Amino acid sequence: MPSSPRRLDALALLFYTLLSLALTWPLARYWDHGFMGFARSFQDGIQNVWNMWWMRWALAHGQNPFWNPLLYYPDGLQMYLQAISAPGALVALPVSLIFGPTAAYNTAMIMASALTGYGVFVLVRAFVPGYRLPLLAGALVLASPFMLGRLLTNQLNLTSMYWLPFYFLALIRLEERRTWGALLWAGVLVLLLMLTDWYWTLVCMVYTLVWMLTGLTLRADRGWRLRRYLSFAGVVLLFTSPLLIAIAQVRSQLPIQDSIANPGWQAYVRGFSLDLFGLFYPALSPLFAADTSATFIEAVRPRAFSFEGSYTAAGWVLLGLAGVGIWQHGRQHWRLLLTAGFGFLIALGPNLHVFGQNTGIPMPYVLIEQLPLISTARRPNLYAVPIIVVAAIFAALGLQSLMRRMPPQRATILLVAVMLLATWELWPPRSRDLYLVNASPLVAGLRERPGAVLDLPYENQESSRSLLHQISHEQPMIGGYVSRRPEYPALDMPHIGQLITMQTWLRSDIVDTAAMLHAAQCYAPLRHILVERNEVTAQQIAEIEAVLTQIAAAPVAPSGQDSATIWYELPPSPAVCEPFLFLGRGWYRLEQDATRRWRWMQAEATIWLVNPHPEAQNLVLEVQAEAFGDAGIQRMLSIFQQEHMLGSFIVRAGQPRIYRFTIRIPPGQSSISLRAPASPEPDGRSLSLSVTRIGFDLVRP
C-alpha cells in the first residue's frame, strides 16, 4: 500500500466504488437507460431519476431548485422538505447534462454507496491504525443488509448515509482539537445533512444531544466542553441560517403532516419501527439460505408494509466482531455505547415489537413523538442505522484484539476467514429486476405544445408514471409523486375533480358545478389529458370524454394515441376569467329526495374561493342551511377566514334559511371555514348542518 495518505484514500475510494458496482451488477450495463432493484421500488427509482432531471431543468431555467412550479399545478410546490438529495444531484449534474438523468441517478447511487464505505473507513482509522481493518469495516457496512436494501429499493436519500460517519468523526474531533477548523467542518456537515435528507439530520441531532450530555458528565474540562458545544451550536446556526430563513419564509406552504394527528401515519410509524431483534435479522444472500431468510422476514414484518419497514439488519459477521470489540474495549469507549444504546431505544418506536408481535409495552419514543419535528418524521427505525456505523468501529477493534494475540501467519488466516465468511453472508440477492427508462414519442411531443397535463387514472398513491412523463414533456402537471404530499385543494375544482374521478358530476349540486366549470378551466386551464389504456375501462373513457366535452363546449376526440396512451388536447381557455368557488374538506356525499338535494356538513367544512383578478374582490356569500336534529334544535354557525371570525348565525332544525355575509377575497385561492357543533350518528358520521345551496354575488364598484 502507498505511504501517501492521499493515495491510500484514493485507493480506498476506488475499492469501494468497484465493490458497489459488483454488488449492483449488472447495473453498469444499463447505466444510462435503466436501473436495478425490487419491482415494488421502481416508483422510488423513477422519482429519483426525476430529481436529477428537475435539478438540471431548474438550474438551466434560472429557477430556485427548492420551488417547483411544474408540480401540483396550479399551486406549485415547495421542495425544501422533499427528498431531492440536492448535494448528490448537484455532483451528478455534469453526468445529467451529457448522458441524461438516468445515468446521473445511477452515478449518484454508486457514489453514495462508495462514499458510505469510505466514510466508515475514515472514521474507523481514527480508532484503529493501519488500513486493512478499517478497509474491511467499511466494506462490511457498505455490503450490510440495510445498505444493500436501500440500494435495491432505490432510496437515494437513505442510501446517502455517508454523511453519518463523517459527521460522527467531526463530532469526536470537536473535543480533541481546540481549533476552529473542527467547528467549521462540523457546521458544513450539518448543512450538507439538511440538504441531503431531513431524516438523517434529525437522527444526527438526537445523537449529538446525547453525545454532548454524556460529555458534560465528565469532570475533566467540563467548562471548556460546554463552551465548545455552545460554539458548535453557534457555528451550525451560522451555516444553516440562510436555509432556515428561507424555510421560515414559506412555512405556510410546506407539506408538513403531523403523524400523531393522522391514523394512517400512526400505522406507518409503527410499521417503520425497529423490531427488538431487527438488527440481527438474517441477510438475503443466496449463499446464506436466502429463501429461508426471506420467509422468516415475511412472517415477522408488519402487515400492510414491505419488509423494508423494520428490516434494519447489520449483518452477523459485523455484529459478532463488534461483540468482541465491546467486550475488549467497551469500558474505554463507553460514550459510544451509551449514545448508540439511546438511539436503539428510540428506534424501537412507540411500542416494543418482538419478531413482529406488538407487545404493547411503551418505549421511550412515546415521550418525544409529540415534539414538532419528531411528529412529522415517520421512520423510527432509522435511529438504529448509526448503530451499524458504531458497530464497525468495535468490529475493527475486536478483530484487532484477536489478531494481536496470534502469530502473524495465523492473524492473516483469521482475516482471510472473516472476509470469506462475510462474503458468504453478504452476497447480494439474485431477486432483482431491471427497469428500462423509455421515452414515449407521443408524450415527448407535448413539449412543443405548452399547457398543463393531467395523467389518468390520477395517482393518489405512490406511483411515478406522471413524473416519468414530465421528464419527456416538461410541462406543468396535476399532482406528482413526492415524499411529503401537500394539501391540494385544486383536486376539488370542478374540471379537475370530474376528470380525476372519471365521472361527470351532477349539475345541481349544492354548488352550481356547471356555472363554475368554465371559470375553473379559465383560472387553471388544462391542455393535455393522458389516459393509460391498460388502467381504465371503456365506460371510464366515455366519462372522461363527456367531461372534456363539457369543458370545451364541443365534442372532444383523441388527438393521438399509441399502444399505451390516449392523448386528448383541449383548446386554449379564454383570457378573461371570473371568480368562482368550490367545496373543500368536511362535506359528506350529495343526498337527495323527491324535492331537494343537500350535503351534510361535519363540525367544520371548508369553502374555497378563487379570485383570478390581481385586485381583491368583495362578494356576498349565500349559504342555505338548516340544523341537524329534531324540530327546535339550534346550532350556532360561525364563519372564519384565516382564523378571523366574520360572523355567526343561529341555525334551527326544520327551518331552512339563507344566510348572507360579505367577504373580501384576495387574489388567488383562499378559504373560509364553516363551523357548527356536530352530533355523532350510528353510521359513524358526525353531522351539524344540512346545506342545500352555496353561491355568491359579486359586489360591483
Among 141, 122, 144, smallest CA distance to 131 is for: 122
Residues 292 and 367 in one domain: yes
Strands (E), 277-323: none
Of the listed ranges 216-230, 244-258, 318-332, 575-589, the least confidently predicted one is 244-258
Residues 140 and 177 in one domain: no
Residues 658 and 604 in one domain: yes
Confidence of residue 447 (pLDDT cuts 50, 70, 90): very high
CA distances to 10, 491, 506, 587, 658 from 602, rounded to whole Å, are 64, 20, 21, 6, 19
Residues 227 and 297 in one domain: no
Asked whether residue 420 is domain-assigned, the answer is: no
Rounded Cα distance, 699 and 615, in Å: 13
Among candidate residues 396, 421, 437, the one where a domain is terminated: 437
Q: Is 63 exposed, middle or buried (0-12, 13-18, 19+ CB in 10 A)?
A: middle
CATH code for the domain in which residue 675 is found: 2.60.120.260
Our CA angle for 132, 138, 140, nearest 5°, is: 100
Look over the chain and give the mean of its residue pLDDT values, rounded to a whole number: 89
Amino acid identity, position 169: L
Rounded Cα distance, 16 and 527, in Å: 48
Residue-wise pLDDT tens digits, 639-649 = 998 888 888 89
- Helix, strand or coil, per DSSP, at residue 603: coil
Asked whether residue 415 is domain-assigned, the answer is: no
Residues 529 and 633 in one domain: no
Q: Which domain holds residue 62?
A: 1-159+431-437
Amino acid identity, position 101: P
Rounded Cα distance, 383 and 349, in Å: 10
* pLDDT above 70 for 2: no
DSSP 375-444: HH---GGGGGHHHHHHHHHHHHHHHHHHHHTS-HHHHHHHHHHHHHHHHHHHPPPS--EEEE----HHHH
Q: How far is CA 65 from the centre of its chain?
A: 16
- Helix, strand or coil, per DSSP, at residue 458: coil
What is the separation, in whole angstroms, between the first and last Cα of the chain? 84
Residues 447 and 461 in one domain: yes
Alpha helices by DSSP H, 126-276: 132-142, 145-152, 156-159, 163-176, 180-196, 198-215, 222-249, 263-271
Residue that is written with C-alpha cell 364553516 in the block: 674
Query: What does the DSSP 8-state code read for residue 535?
Result: G
588-591: long-range contacts, CB 8 A cutoff, minimum separation 24: 588/685, 588/687, 590/506, 590/509, 590/510
Whether the CB-CB separation of 539 and 503 falls below 8 Å is answered with no
Of the listed ranges 117-121, 166-170, 446-450, 486-490, the least confidently predicted one is 486-490
Residues 46 and 142 in one domain: yes
Residues 179 and 98 in one domain: no
* pLDDT above 70 for 304: no
Mean pLDDT on 630-638: 89
Check residue 549 and give its pLDDT.
92
Residues 140 and 166 in one domain: no
Query: What does the DSSP 8-state code read for residue 587?
Result: B
Mean pLDDT on 659-683: 91
DSSP 469-515: HHHHH---BS----SSPPP-GGGGSHHHHHHHHTSPPPTBSSSBHHH
Whether the CB-CB separation of 174 and 232 falls below 8 Å is answered with yes
Residue-wise pLDDT tens digits, 497-512 = 999 999 888 767 888 8
Residue-wise pLDDT tens digits, 155-201 = 899 899 999 999 999 999 888 767 778 888 889 999 999 999 989 99
Residues 268 and 126 in one domain: no
pTM score: 0.91
Asked whether residue 46 is domain-assigned, the answer is: yes
CA distances to 124, 167, 274, 369 from 365, rounded to whole Å, are 30, 24, 11, 6
CA distances to 44, 107, 117, 317, 550 from 151, rounded to whole Å, are 11, 12, 13, 20, 47
SS3 content of the chain, % helix, strand, coil (to 5): 50, 20, 30
The tally of domains found in the chain comes to: 5
Whether the CB-CB separation of 175 and 228 falls below 8 Å is answered with yes
Rounded Cα distance, 447 and 442, in Å: 10
- Helix, strand or coil, per DSSP, at residue 134: helix
The pair phi, psi for residue 303, each rounded to 5°, is -65, 150
Residues 326 and 248 in one domain: no
Asked whether residue 364 is domain-assigned, the answer is: yes
Asked whether the bond before 26 is cis by omega within 30 degrees of 0, the reply is yes
Asked whether residue 70 is domain-assigned, the answer is: yes
CA distances to 124, 508, 546 from 515, rounded to whole Å, are 69, 10, 16
Q: Is 320 exposed, middle or buried (0-12, 13-18, 19+ CB in 10 A)?
A: middle
Check residue 42 and give its pLDDT.
84
Residue-wise pLDDT tens digits, 519-529 = 999 999 999 99
Residues 154 and 168 in one domain: no
Check residue 697 and give its pLDDT.
87
Radius of gyration of the chain (CA): 29
Asked whether residue 422 is domain-assigned, the answer is: no
Among candidate residues 523, 548, 569, the one where a domain is terminated: 569
Residue-wise pLDDT tens digits, 13-65 = 999 999 999 998 888 888 988 888 876 778 888 999 999 999 999 999 999 99
Asked whether residue 424 is domain-assigned, the answer is: no
The cell numbers describing 188, all together, are 458544513
Asked whether residue 409 is domain-assigned, the answer is: no
Percent of the chain having pLDDT more than 90?
A: 56
